[in-house]
Amino acid sequence: MKEYLEIIILALVLISCTESKKEQPNVVFIMSDDHAYQAISAYGGTLNKTPNIDRLANEGAIFTRATVTNSICSPSRAVMLTGKHSFVNGRLANSGTFDWGQDNVAKQFKKAGYQTAMIGKIHMPGLPQGFDHFSVLEGQGKYYNPDFIQEGGKKKRYHGYCAHVIWNQVKDWLDAREEEKPFFLMYHPKAPHRTWMPEPKYFELFEDTEFELPQTFNDDYKNRPSAAKQKMSIAEDMDLCYDLKMLDKEGEIKGRYRRNAQNLYNRMDSAQRAAWDKHYEPIIAEFKAQNLKGEALAKWKYNRYMRDYLSTIQSVDDGVGKLLDYLEANDLDENTIVVYTSDQGFYLGEHGWFDKRFMYEQSFRTPLLMKYPKSIKPGTTIDALVQNLDFAPTFMDFAGIDIPSDIQGESFRNLVSDRDSTWRDFAYYTFYEYPGEHNVNRHYGITTKRYKLIHFYYDEDNWELYDLEKDPHETNNIYTLPEYKVIREMMHKKLNQVRTKYGDNDALNQEFLQKALEARKARKNKNRQAH
């Protein structure tokens, strides 16, 4: 009788384990590059329509205050992988090394029995670890006929437009996976990263649209010296040939990056180039005939930028739609978590800028939409200050994986599952890539839902404080105003507490600074020797 009971108990345990394993959710994490939340229609913007990304909001949750910890491509992705701030995971800027030997979210999922894959952009040196399969773009990647790095470090060029090439590889991997195992898939489109090269299908999509200049397009940067010295102005710094496609065959239009633009076009085959020239040559001819100057030129550049930028997003949106349709067609949608985000936000003319880097809202905030029918009610809105720091622990929490104690992020599972929960009342930010191309100085800062405190340092020592409720465009630095003394002191106290919590401090910044100076000196010496 005893043996009989033991057999029954063992059978029940095995059944329970099997059922538990079946219930483990699949995870598809879609991370695009430089996709501004302003360019997703689910966020209420009118610039463009993104029906497939919007499906995630309609069928799941949209986050209104999601932010990044370091608004630049590679460091943001390192934070996402590790759940740790840049000064902990070691990836401070786009240059330098990254230790793939350290723990990451994919390694945790693989250890838990998941199939893992990364396909698309990661922009990290070295070969990815933690993945059963990876096929990642070389560096920033190219829009046309891109090169991929795959297992063993082999490089392979794929013919076609990057968005389609990536989706086709995603589909092939999903088709070939082991169906009895759950999967963790990182699907990373390149777009809409600079230089915003659309596919022919969308060449004409916005050509008849005249975009209204943002309210702060002609910002004077009063009382914000760090903002004043940047080099990412659409009017002054956006390259006509490289960024705006005005690569005339006569060579009359000059640009700092003209040769770079030519190299991108040289990748195209004859049919691709013919379609490209058919669209852009009339635009080039019209531009040359107009001979624009001053404000008229700035407005033209803004509209040209927006047309190309938004067109590349449509290809990303198409890919999201294909993914969602695939999951439904294969009965995977109910048990799959689908997340859409970007590695950071982006300026679409706000403050007169393109690019990112600053802790101001447009680059600090990132889109975040999430669908999981088993736990997330359709139409959920989350206003909490979640960060890319929180992705790794959240995914692990949903999968029933123990979250390592050294991860600095927190799981927001309870937030989206409509459970009672408390959440931190701040988000912390650091930026290190200076001196650099866009001349955005190093800074760190903290935000609450209402106030933001930023410290710019390195070759300056400037503090900025914003009341986001009264000044959502962040044009009025109130740091020195006496009526904000109590708020200023409160924010300084909060900042010091948070830096202590995460292990950041000025001495650590000084150490990073010294290493950066040494690396910069070494690069200069290497360049001298090369010439």
390 in any annotated domain:
yes
Q: What is the pLDDT, as a whole number, of residue 516?
A: 65
343 and 400, same domain (yes or no): yes
pTM (two decimals): 0.93
Number of independent structural domains in the chain: 3
CATH of the domain at 128: 3.40.720.10
CA distance 512 to 422: 34
Note the Cα 159 to chain centre separation in Å: 25
CA distance 287 to 480: 46
Please list the pLDDT of the chain residue by residue as tens digits (531 residues): 455 545 444 544 444 444 344 579 999 999 999 999 999 999 998 999 999 999 999 999 999 999 999 999 999 999 999 999 999 999 999 988 899 999 999 999 999 999 999 999 999 999 999 999 999 999 999 999 999 999 999 999 999 999 999 999 999 999 999 999 999 999 999 999 999 999 999 999 999 999 999 999 999 999 999 999 999 999 999 999 999 999 999 999 988 999 999 999 999 999 999 999 999 999 999 999 999 999 999 999 999 999 999 999 999 999 999 999 999 999 999 999 999 999 999 999 999 999 999 999 999 999 999 999 999 999 999 999 999 999 999 999 999 999 999 999 999 999 998 776 789 999 999 999 998 889 999 999 999 999 999 999 999 999 999 999 999 999 999 999 999 999 999 999 999 999 999 999 887 777 766 776 676 677 666 656 654
Q: What is the pLDDT, as a whole number, of residue 509?
A: 72
Q: What is the pLDDT, as a whole number, of residue 511?
A: 74
166 and 213, same domain (yes or no): no
324 in any annotated domain:
no
CA distance 73 to 121: 10
Domain final residue pick, 256, 285, 304: 304
Burial of 5 (0-12, 13-18, 19+ CB in 10 A): exposed
Q: What is the pLDDT, as a whole number, of residue 12?
A: 46
135 and 37, same domain (yes or no): yes
Domain enclosing residue 226, as ranges: 200-304
169 and 214, same domain (yes or no): no
78 and 179, same domain (yes or no): yes
Kindly write down the DSSP assignment for every residue of 441-456, as one continuous string.
Answer: PPEEEEE-SSEEEEEE
DSSP secondary structure letter of residue 233: B
User: Which amino acid, 69?
Assistant: T
12 and 151, same domain (yes or no): yes
386 and 435, same domain (yes or no): no
Kindly write down the DSSP assignment for every residue of 26-87, as one continuous string.
Answer: EEEEEEESS--GGG-GGGT-SS---HHHHHHHHHSEEESS-B-SS-SHHHHHHHHHHSS-HH
399 and 440, same domain (yes or no): no
Domain final residue pick, 359, 384, 413: 413
466 in any annotated domain:
yes
Domain final residue pick, 289, 304, 319: 304
19 in any annotated domain:
yes
325 in any annotated domain:
no
227 in any annotated domain:
yes
26 and 141, same domain (yes or no): yes
309 in any annotated domain:
no
Q: In 3D, which of 204, 66, 181, 22 has the Cα closest to residue 117?
A: 181
CATH of the domain at 494: 3.30.1120.10
CA distance 437 to 232: 9
74 and 182, same domain (yes or no): yes
- What stretch of H or E contains 517? helix 506-530
46 and 177, same domain (yes or no): yes
64 and 170, same domain (yes or no): yes
CA distance 426 to 446: 7
H helix and E strand count, the chain: 16, 14
Kindly write down the DSSP assignment for every residue of 290-328, as one continuous string.
Answer: H---HHHHHHHHHHHHHHHHHHHHHHHHHHHHHHHHHHH
Residues 6+ apart with CB under 8 A from 328: none
Q: What is the pLDDT, as a whole number, of residue 242?
A: 96
158 in any annotated domain:
yes
